[in-house]
Structure 1
């Protein structure tokens, strides 16, 4: 079978390697260089190694709790039961996870986990280590790699995906395939502040929407609580709080306990909103206090964070550092079954682009790399199996609606609109305003021709879908938070 994998993070590279090892002809298409994307930036680790008193069942329970009861129990069971095999596979492919003096894997704990079950590599450079190992594994095979190639659209014939359309150096090209596996990541650049690298513009989800694929849960956008508040967005791993760092206000008070009994280790959506509210009250960023961990431990356990914070003028071993939330991860996406099949024949989706049901309304920390590895492998294994899903949906055409300010479109204006109205804290009035503006922008937009114009079109499409989904969910749950006084109004 001729298989095209679009994207080269952990999900795409895992799917490609498994498909190749199963005898398929595989081509990886990636927007940047092989291994670019969010995986290489992941400071957190991979959940799924269980020490004394811990188990897959406990991991599943934590995942369900973090997902606010909306996670799919069967998908979660698959994740935790197959996680150990995927972690062992990563080790076999060359990922050197951190180990103690006894050569046992070191296990860390992060927010909303009841036990230490997370493995890291290079302290806070897990994603980079995984990316290097998987890229090297691909390079050792006969997998074809096409870099600097923009996914313009899917080729659909008689309701079946038959390949993809690309832009390479501004030239349109077609690539025929028996199956397409989307592994293009999320849409962090819908927002003015994001941890995602440039280029995370929802291209895969948008292409799937245009092809008629079912999407769901786009309203569930996770904001990471602790981004360094000065300079370009830089994530300060949740593992820092897992080791004992605290969040404090201007008076040194640990304010997160006002919102949740677990304080700094509450689910990410709770901590992010607590930080945003406190920053609004005091008119300045809150601070992450890691001074109690000491300079030696911080440098050894978090070498990347230590280097960057010091480069920006902070000695976090001596003083708390200013932090703020930023858009981090999309729980929704292309709806798939447990083998990565979408509602359109021939189209698979894995990783952040997919909505497997694992994350529900709020992703549990360090489940994303695990999900990419588990479901990437499962999609590859399903390539030869009968197609059990086939139900495309019709994409609504953009309509002109009253726009209160008739502002001109540019990407910065869209990102600010989404940040203010479809961000951490939402109101029905704000969502309706955002939807009206976005629909007006879409209705008056010219047909895209360049890669940048295609990105803008994709962001506009996803902005409309996200605001619509947020309006349709009339109660607060997980990462979707409506101001209480306006719920249901």
Structure 2
């Protein structure tokens, strides 16, 4: 059966082909699923670049409540403990599910799963594949399973607009391929589109990760939460590449240290030291560099000599950059890595727009709070894929199929506009922020959005939320508000963001209807 001929009453569309999208599609089998992806299967997704691993409390002396407690502690007061506990309890079974799909995780000499340690974890609980190639290992296994599942079809196209019926329920997707737009009706749509790192000039994410799914949901009226919380990975390799290659946090778990050019310990005197939560480490590096001190990850000695065997991805990256980690420290800096904010979803991944679900980084589940614990990202996507599938099965199909008179105009991001957005986000909405810089960013992004930049619209949503949170917490740090306020979530909508942005930009009118609708 071809993709276009499938009955809308049966079909589910999954947008995105990383771990969140592929796992959800597999959980929905044998229901017909169409995966819409901008790149061929197995390419263009942040999953394949994930070096760390999947956290699971399966070792001796460990238990899901301990994993949940570490997650809550890293989340800087905004993690929902019931969500953390539910995900932690699911983790061992999810590892078994992946093993059943043929995913080959690293094992000790006795055949048991090898467990690593990462920052802010109180136990060794990181399950890895091929050392620091866990994301690629998991992605390969999921791709094999998807290709072997007859009910799943893959469509390489850009998702441009969510279709909605007369009651506002999502009932399909408008796609574009080879310059032609077409409608794809469906009973439900699952967004699994990843994050926003590509909005920043310094990022470890694929360049295409500019929050496309976030904007799709926002334009459809979905509620958005905690968009200001962007995690900057502290140890991106600062050697001129774009995107920046990553030196996995697991290296510090195995003894690597952060030093300045004179060999001084960057994390000396800071609680947790080199294994402090990511937001703490990123700020320490940022402040050192702001003071003119270059920062390096020191793996010299035994760790560097064993790098090719234990961390082959980082070893290969260093080799390509002319760095010998056995005798040279690796230059590093913080780079945009993960978005804790996203589309608000419930325990089943359901948004507040009927017919629309979200999974993975694009969603705000309550797990990560203000700062994601290492190796919880792949886990979160896997943990929510099953409940999403069950929820869709229990949901009646939309009674109407949207049929707009004309297809919406596709917004674009020319190279110059996107470059301006990336530089602006890096400079004004980065590791450390203040009101003056955020207001400057909002005014400039508003202007770029009026010119038709989708990336500017997504950046605008983040900047407006960052200005509204007048405190420092987790991945959001204000130099003009160093203390913390009472705990709360920032919940907003696209049109509220536009209203605030227009006021700040001093615009007499809101953005054009084309920019708002896409």
- Alignment-derived partner of residue 128 in structure 2: 120
- Alignment-derived partner of residue 279 in structure 1: 289
Deviations 1:209-267 (A, max 9, x none): 00000111110000000011103110000000010000001221112134x22111101
State yes or no: 1:441 paired with 2:448: yes
CA distance in structure 1 between the aligned counterparts of 2:339 and 2:219, rounded to whole angstroms: 19
State yes or no: 1:101 paired with 2:84: no
Distance 1:13 1:261, change over 3 A: same
CA distance in structure 1 between the aligned counterparts of 2:152 and 2:69, rounded to whole angstroms: 40
CA distance in structure 1 between the aligned counterparts of 2:22 and 2:303, rounded to whole angstroms: 38
How far is the alpha carbon of 1:201 from its aligned partner? 1.5
CA distance in structure 1 between the aligned counterparts of 2:210 and 2:475, rounded to whole angstroms: 20
Contact map agreement 1:245 1:292 (CA 8 A) in 2: no
How far is the alpha carbon of 1:54 from its aligned partner? 1.4
CA distance in structure 2 between the aligned counterparts of 1:418 and 1:264, rounded to whole angstroms: 27
2:275 aligns with one of 229, 247, 265: 265
CA distance in structure 1 between the aligned counterparts of 2:62 and 2:136, rounded to whole angstroms: 27
Distance 1:319 1:470, change over 3 A: same
How far is the alpha carbon of 1:386 from its aligned partner? 4.5
- Alignment-derived partner of residue 134 in structure 1: 142
How far is the alpha carbon of 1:294 from its aligned partner? 3.7
CA distance in structure 2 between the aligned counterparts of 1:435 and 1:308, rounded to whole angstroms: 36
State yes or no: 1:412 paired with 2:422: no
- Alignment-derived partner of residue 347 in structure 1: 356
- Alignment-derived partner of residue 64 in structure 1: 72
- Alignment-derived partner of residue 51 in structure 2: 43
Contact map agreement 1:32 1:147 (CA 8 A) in 2: no
CA distance in structure 2 between the aligned counterparts of 1:265 and 1:48, rounded to whole angstroms: 18
Alignment of 1:36-435 (within 5 A): 36=43, 37-157=45-165, 158-232=167-241, 233-258=244-269, 260-283=270-293, 285-386=294-395, 410-435=417-442
How far is the alpha carbon of 1:40 from its aligned partner? 0.5
1:481 aligns with one of 469, 474, 477: 477
Structure 1 unpaired stretches of 5+: 388-407, 447-455
Deviations 1:49-97 (A, max 9, x none): 3312211111000000100010111211111011111111011101110
CA distance in structure 1 between the aligned counterparts of 2:228 and 2:481, rounded to whole angstroms: 19
How far is the alpha carbon of 1:296 from its aligned partner? 4.3
SS at match of 1:384: helix
SS at match of 1:112: coil
- Alignment-derived partner of residue 401 in structure 1: none
SS at match of 1:377: helix
Deviations 1:20-46 (A, max 9, x none): 1xx311111111111220001100100
CA distance in structure 2 between the aligned counterparts of 1:134 and 1:421, rounded to whole angstroms: 38
How far is the alpha carbon of 1:198 from its aligned partner? 2.2
TM-score, normalising length: structure 2: 0.85
- Alignment-derived partner of residue 450 in structure 1: none
State yes or no: 1:469 paired with 2:477: no
Distance 1:140 1:386, change over 3 A: closer
Structure 2 unpaired stretches of 5+: 1-9, 397-414, 485-518
CA distance in structure 1 between the aligned counterparts of 2:285 and 2:306, rounded to whole angstroms: 26
Deviations 1:154-203 (A, max 9, x none): 00112100000001111101111000011000111111111011211211
CA distance in structure 2 between the aligned counterparts of 1:257 and 1:181, rounded to whole angstroms: 45
CA distance in structure 1 between the aligned counterparts of 2:94 and 2:60, rounded to whole angstroms: 20
SS at match of 1:61: helix
Contact map agreement 1:427 1:486 (CA 8 A) in 2: no
SS at match of 2:210: coil
Deviations 1:410-464 (A, max 9, x none): 1111111111111100001111111111112223x24xxxxxxxxx41x122111
How far is the alpha carbon of 1:146 from its aligned partner? 3.2
CA distance in structure 1 between the aligned counterparts of 2:240 and 2:443, rounded to whole angstroms: 33
- Aligned Cα RMSD in Å? 1.6
Contact map agreement 1:28 1:143 (CA 8 A) in 2: no
CA distance in structure 1 between the aligned counterparts of 2:85 and 2:263, rounded to whole angstroms: 41
